[in-house]
Chains A and B, each alone.
Chain A
Protein backbone atom coordinates (compact mmCIF):
# COMPACT_ATOMS: atom_id res chain seq x y z
CA UNK A 1 0.00 0.00 0.00
CA UNK A 2 1.28 3.45 -0.92
CA UNK A 3 2.12 5.56 2.12
CA UNK A 4 3.32 9.09 2.80
CA UNK A 5 4.67 10.20 6.18
CA UNK A 6 5.52 13.81 6.92
CA UNK A 7 7.64 15.09 9.78
CA UNK A 8 7.60 16.96 11.98
CA UNK A 9 3.86 17.40 12.54
CA UNK A 10 4.46 20.99 13.60
CA UNK A 11 7.44 23.31 13.37
CA UNK A 12 7.87 26.72 14.92
CA UNK A 13 10.63 28.98 13.56
CA UNK A 14 11.81 32.49 14.12
CA UNK A 15 11.82 34.78 11.11
CA UNK A 16 15.04 34.16 9.17
CA UNK A 17 15.68 30.75 10.77
CA UNK A 18 16.09 28.25 7.91
CA UNK A 19 14.88 24.65 8.24
CA UNK A 20 13.60 21.62 6.34
CA UNK A 21 10.40 19.59 6.24
CA UNK A 22 10.52 15.88 5.48
CA UNK A 23 8.26 13.66 3.36
CA UNK A 24 9.02 9.93 3.41
CA UNK A 25 7.18 7.72 0.98
CA UNK A 26 6.72 4.08 0.04
CA UNK A 27 5.18 3.56 -3.36
CA UNK A 28 5.23 0.89 -6.04
CA UNK A 29 7.01 3.06 -8.56
CA UNK A 30 6.85 6.85 -8.37
CA UNK A 31 5.19 8.82 -11.14
CA UNK A 32 5.36 12.12 -9.32
CA UNK A 33 5.75 13.72 -5.89
CA UNK A 34 3.84 16.90 -5.17
CA UNK A 35 4.19 19.65 -2.59
CA UNK A 36 1.25 21.84 -1.62
CA UNK A 37 0.75 24.77 0.72
CA UNK A 38 -2.53 25.06 2.64
CA UNK A 39 -3.70 28.14 4.54
CA UNK A 40 -6.36 27.70 7.27
CA UNK A 41 -9.82 27.08 5.86
CA UNK A 42 -8.61 27.13 2.25
CA UNK A 43 -7.86 24.56 -0.42
CA UNK A 44 -4.31 23.30 -0.93
CA UNK A 45 -2.27 25.36 -3.37
CA UNK A 46 0.17 23.59 -5.68
CA UNK A 47 3.88 24.35 -5.25
CA UNK A 48 6.05 21.73 -7.01
CA UNK A 49 6.12 18.42 -8.84
CA UNK A 50 9.23 16.22 -8.66
CA UNK A 51 9.64 13.15 -10.83
CA UNK A 52 12.96 11.46 -10.21
CA UNK A 53 15.71 11.16 -7.60
CA UNK A 54 18.17 14.04 -7.70
CA UNK A 55 15.65 16.53 -9.02
CA UNK A 56 15.35 19.94 -7.34
CA UNK A 57 12.90 22.81 -7.79
CA UNK A 58 12.86 26.30 -6.30
CA UNK A 59 10.32 29.03 -5.76
CA UNK A 60 11.21 32.12 -3.78
CA UNK A 61 12.34 30.90 -0.33
CA UNK A 62 11.30 27.29 -0.96
CA UNK A 63 13.39 24.51 -2.46
CA UNK A 64 12.17 20.94 -2.91
CA UNK A 65 14.48 17.97 -3.36
CA UNK A 66 13.84 14.28 -4.03
CA UNK A 67 15.62 11.02 -3.25
CA UNK A 68 14.42 7.46 -3.82
CA UNK A 69 12.78 7.33 -0.39
CA UNK A 70 12.03 10.90 0.66
CA UNK A 71 11.63 14.51 -0.28
CA UNK A 72 12.65 17.62 1.59
CA UNK A 73 11.14 21.08 1.47
CA UNK A 74 13.86 23.51 2.49
CA UNK A 75 12.75 26.94 3.69
CA UNK A 76 15.46 29.59 3.59
CA UNK A 77 15.15 32.70 5.74
CA UNK A 78 11.40 32.25 6.27
CA UNK A 79 8.99 35.11 6.79
CA UNK A 80 5.74 35.14 8.81
CA UNK A 81 3.76 34.88 5.55
CA UNK A 82 5.30 31.45 4.99
CA UNK A 83 3.24 30.18 7.93
CA UNK A 84 0.93 27.45 6.60
CA UNK A 85 0.49 23.70 6.51
CA UNK A 86 2.65 22.03 3.88
CA UNK A 87 1.33 18.84 2.31
CA UNK A 88 3.20 16.17 0.37
CA UNK A 89 1.50 13.74 -2.02
CA UNK A 90 2.62 10.93 -4.32
CA UNK A 91 1.26 9.44 -7.52
CA UNK A 92 2.15 5.80 -8.08
CA UNK A 93 2.81 4.00 -11.31
CA UNK A 94 0.37 1.44 -12.69
CA UNK A 95 -2.13 3.72 -14.33
CA UNK A 96 -3.60 5.15 -11.15
CA UNK A 97 -4.51 8.83 -11.18
CA UNK A 98 -4.87 8.89 -7.41
CA UNK A 99 -2.70 11.12 -5.25
CA UNK A 100 -1.94 9.82 -1.74
CA UNK A 101 -1.43 12.64 0.75
CA UNK A 102 0.58 12.88 3.93
CA UNK A 103 -0.96 14.53 7.00
CA UNK A 104 1.10 17.65 6.59
CA UNK A 105 3.52 19.80 8.57
CA UNK A 106 2.13 22.90 10.21
CA UNK A 107 4.74 25.64 9.97
CA UNK A 108 4.59 28.75 12.13
CA UNK A 109 7.10 31.56 11.55
CA UNK A 110 7.25 34.12 14.32
CA UNK A 111 8.35 37.72 13.61
Chain B
Protein backbone atom coordinates (compact mmCIF):
# COMPACT_ATOMS: atom_id res chain seq x y z
CA UNK B 1 0.00 0.00 0.00
CA UNK B 2 1.30 3.42 -1.00
CA UNK B 3 1.75 5.51 2.11
CA UNK B 4 3.67 8.05 4.14
CA UNK B 5 4.53 6.72 7.59
CA UNK B 6 5.36 8.97 10.53
CA UNK B 7 6.55 7.92 13.96
CA UNK B 8 5.71 8.40 16.71
CA UNK B 9 2.00 9.35 16.53
CA UNK B 10 2.13 10.99 19.95
CA UNK B 11 5.09 12.44 21.82
CA UNK B 12 5.33 14.28 25.11
CA UNK B 13 8.70 15.71 26.02
CA UNK B 14 10.37 18.41 28.10
CA UNK B 15 12.00 21.63 27.04
CA UNK B 16 15.50 21.16 25.68
CA UNK B 17 15.45 17.39 25.16
CA UNK B 18 16.44 16.62 21.57
CA UNK B 19 13.97 14.58 19.57
CA UNK B 20 13.53 13.18 16.07
CA UNK B 21 10.28 12.49 14.24
CA UNK B 22 10.75 9.98 11.45
CA UNK B 23 9.03 10.03 8.06
CA UNK B 24 9.20 7.39 5.37
CA UNK B 25 7.41 7.06 2.02
CA UNK B 26 7.23 4.03 -0.27
CA UNK B 27 6.12 5.80 -3.47
CA UNK B 28 9.57 6.81 -4.78
CA UNK B 29 8.58 10.48 -4.57
CA UNK B 30 11.26 13.11 -5.13
CA UNK B 31 9.61 15.86 -3.12
CA UNK B 32 9.05 15.64 0.63
CA UNK B 33 7.94 18.27 3.09
CA UNK B 34 7.15 18.88 6.75
CA UNK B 35 4.20 20.97 7.92
CA UNK B 36 2.91 22.00 11.30
CA UNK B 37 -0.77 22.63 11.91
CA UNK B 38 -2.02 24.93 14.64
CA UNK B 39 -5.57 26.10 15.41
CA UNK B 40 -6.38 29.28 13.50
CA UNK B 41 -3.09 29.19 11.56
CA UNK B 42 -3.64 26.27 9.21
CA UNK B 43 -0.85 24.24 7.64
CA UNK B 44 2.52 25.96 7.58
CA UNK B 45 5.54 24.55 5.80
CA UNK B 46 8.66 23.98 7.93
CA UNK B 47 11.17 22.46 5.50
CA UNK B 48 11.07 20.72 2.17
CA UNK B 49 13.34 18.58 0.03
CA UNK B 50 13.38 18.37 -3.75
CA UNK B 51 15.51 15.22 -3.75
CA UNK B 52 18.31 13.42 -1.91
CA UNK B 53 20.74 15.85 -0.26
CA UNK B 54 18.63 18.85 -1.39
CA UNK B 55 16.72 20.60 1.41
CA UNK B 56 15.43 24.14 1.90
CA UNK B 57 13.57 26.26 4.41
CA UNK B 58 9.84 26.72 4.32
CA UNK B 59 7.87 29.43 6.06
CA UNK B 60 8.58 28.52 9.70
CA UNK B 61 12.00 26.77 9.88
CA UNK B 62 13.29 28.24 13.15
CA UNK B 63 14.09 25.57 15.74
CA UNK B 64 13.97 22.68 13.28
CA UNK B 65 16.46 20.68 11.22
CA UNK B 66 15.98 18.08 8.51
CA UNK B 67 18.12 15.70 6.48
CA UNK B 68 17.56 13.73 3.27
CA UNK B 69 20.21 11.05 3.01
CA UNK B 70 17.90 8.55 1.31
CA UNK B 71 15.03 9.17 -1.07
CA UNK B 72 12.42 7.48 1.12
CA UNK B 73 13.29 9.08 4.49
CA UNK B 74 12.97 12.68 5.68
CA UNK B 75 13.37 12.99 9.47
CA UNK B 76 12.48 16.16 11.38
CA UNK B 77 14.87 17.04 14.19
CA UNK B 78 14.18 19.37 17.11
CA UNK B 79 17.56 20.01 18.73
CA UNK B 80 16.19 21.91 21.73
CA UNK B 81 12.38 21.79 21.77
CA UNK B 82 10.44 24.64 23.33
CA UNK B 83 6.76 24.87 24.35
CA UNK B 84 5.94 26.97 21.26
CA UNK B 85 6.76 23.90 19.17
CA UNK B 86 3.81 22.06 20.65
CA UNK B 87 1.79 21.27 17.54
CA UNK B 88 0.46 18.65 15.12
CA UNK B 89 3.13 17.78 12.57
CA UNK B 90 2.62 16.27 9.13
CA UNK B 91 5.07 14.81 6.67
CA UNK B 92 4.05 14.75 3.02
CA UNK B 93 5.47 13.66 -0.31
CA UNK B 94 4.65 14.03 -4.00
CA UNK B 95 5.98 13.49 -7.46
CA UNK B 96 7.49 16.74 -8.73
CA UNK B 97 5.69 18.52 -11.54
CA UNK B 98 2.38 20.13 -12.37
CA UNK B 99 -0.68 19.08 -10.47
CA UNK B 100 0.55 16.07 -8.58
CA UNK B 101 -1.04 16.03 -5.13
CA UNK B 102 0.72 15.86 -1.80
CA UNK B 103 0.28 12.59 0.09
CA UNK B 104 0.22 13.10 3.85
CA UNK B 105 1.13 10.94 6.79
CA UNK B 106 -1.23 10.56 9.71
CA UNK B 107 0.53 13.12 11.85
CA UNK B 108 2.59 13.39 15.02
CA UNK B 109 1.08 15.24 17.95
CA UNK B 110 3.95 16.78 19.91
CA UNK B 111 3.62 18.31 23.35
CA UNK B 112 6.61 20.14 24.87
CA UNK B 113 6.29 21.00 28.57
A interface with B by C-beta (< 8 Å): 31-32, 34, 41-46, 49, 51, 87, 89, 91, 97-99, 101-104
Known interface pairs A41-B107, A42-B107, A97-B50; A104-B99 also in contact (CB < 8 Å) = no
Chain A residues, Cβ within 8 Å of B43: 44, 87, 101
**Closest beta carbon of chain A to B12's beta carbon, Å:** 16
For the complex, is B78 an interface residue (Cβ under 8 Å from A)?
no
Chain B interface helix/strand/loop/mixed: strand
Complex A-B: 17 CB contacts under 8 Å = A31-B99, A41-B109, A43-B90, A43-B106, A44-B102, A44-B104, A45-B104, A46-B101, A46-B102, A49-B100, A91-B99, A97-B96, A101-B42, A102-B42, A103-B41, A103-B42, A104-B42
A sample of 8 more A-B contacts (CB under 8 A), given A49-B101, A98-B45, is A32-B99, A43-B4, A43-B90, A44-B43, A44-B104, A45-B104, A97-B50, A97-B96
Chain B residues, Cβ within 8 Å of A32: 98-99
Chain B residues, Cβ within 8 Å of A104: 42
**Closest beta carbon of chain A to B44's beta carbon, Å:** 8
Query: Could you tell me if A103 and B40 are in contact, using CB atoms closer than 8 angstroms?
Result: yes
